[in-house]
Structure 1
Amino acid sequence: MSTETQAVDWRDAWTEALNELEMDITAVEAMLADEHRHAETPPADLWKPPTELGALPLELKPRADEILTRQLAAAEEIARRLTANRQQMSMTSRIETGEAVKRPVYLDCAM
């Protein structure tokens, strides 16, 4: 195999790896954008880092950087939503429902 063919195969392998990673973050972003989506369902195909690819081609670095930025933003949003969810659960757990203590709702003073 020639050096040029190896370089093309190497670049194609990295391009494919970035395509898979980009599809994964796009799915996460779509889940975050649609609050009514089945967020509990994990993605069917979890991305696994490719092995034996070597260094990232320089021309793909801007794309890889953009994907990383999107991943970090999505992770930050997920953490923010988890924190908000915990705060809401904490507040709702303090609401007295009247189930444990039976108190009259009103007092009839007409008698």
Structure 2
Amino acid sequence: MTTGWSDAWEQALDALELDVAAAELLLAAAHGTGGGMAPAVRTWRPPVDLGPLPASLEERARTLRDRQLEVAQAVSEAVVRSRRQLAATRAVLGTVAERRPVYVDIDG
């Protein structure tokens, strides 16, 4: 029974680790450092009925949690940068649009 319990936790951590890696790749692709297409991100669902984490997996779980926190911070920062860039782009486009002639005199 202990082996099945530990295996279930390992599988849950494997799945979560894949999701974190996908989020890291998505961020890298968004920043132009990923070298390819961003992976599809799926909705994470917490596993049910696993019971307490086995002590043998505690270090791995903590490391994974730290990666998740780093990715969450990077996503937050990317959102802020994107909003600032969008605001700057809109400001530039707005000033350019205001300088365009409205009418063209074709009769001279």
TM range (shorter): 0.7 to 0.9
- Number of residue pairs aligned between Structure 1 and Structure 2: 95
After TM superposition, the score normalised by the length of structure 1 is 0.75
CA distance in 2, matches of 1:64, 1:102: 58
- Following superposition, the deviation at residue 92 of structure 1 comes to 1.8
| One of 15, 20, 24 as aligned partner of 1:25 | 20
Point out 4+ residue stretches in structure 1 off by more than 4 angstroms.
36-39
Q: Which runs of 5+ in 2 are unaligned?
A: 102-108
The answer on 1:68 being equivalent to 2:65 is: yes
Partner of residue 12, structure 1: 7
Q: Give 3-state SS (helix, strand or coil) of 2:89's partner.
A: helix
Structure with the larger helix share: 2
Greater relative contact order, per chain length (Cα 8 Å cut-off, separation 6+): 1
- Following superposition, the deviation at residue 102 of structure 1 comes to 3.7
- Following superposition, the deviation at residue 31 of structure 1 comes to 1.4
Of structures 1 and 2, the larger Rg is shown by: 1
Partner of residue 100, structure 1: 98
CA distance in 2, matches of 1:38, 1:82: 19
The percent of aligned pairs where both chains have the same amino acid is 33
Query: What amino acid does structure 1 have at the position aligned with 2:53?
Result: L
After TM superposition, the score normalised by the length of structure 2 is 0.77
Query: What amino acid does structure 1 have at the position aligned with 2:50?
Result: L
Partners of 1:20 and 1:47 within 8 A in 2: no
Q: Which runs of 5+ in 1 are unaligned?
A: 1-5, 104-111
Partners of 2:23 and 2:71 within 8 A in 1: yes
CA distance in 2, matches of 1:102, 1:26: 47
The answer on 1:50 being equivalent to 2:47 is: yes
CA distance in 1, matches of 2:44, 2:15: 7
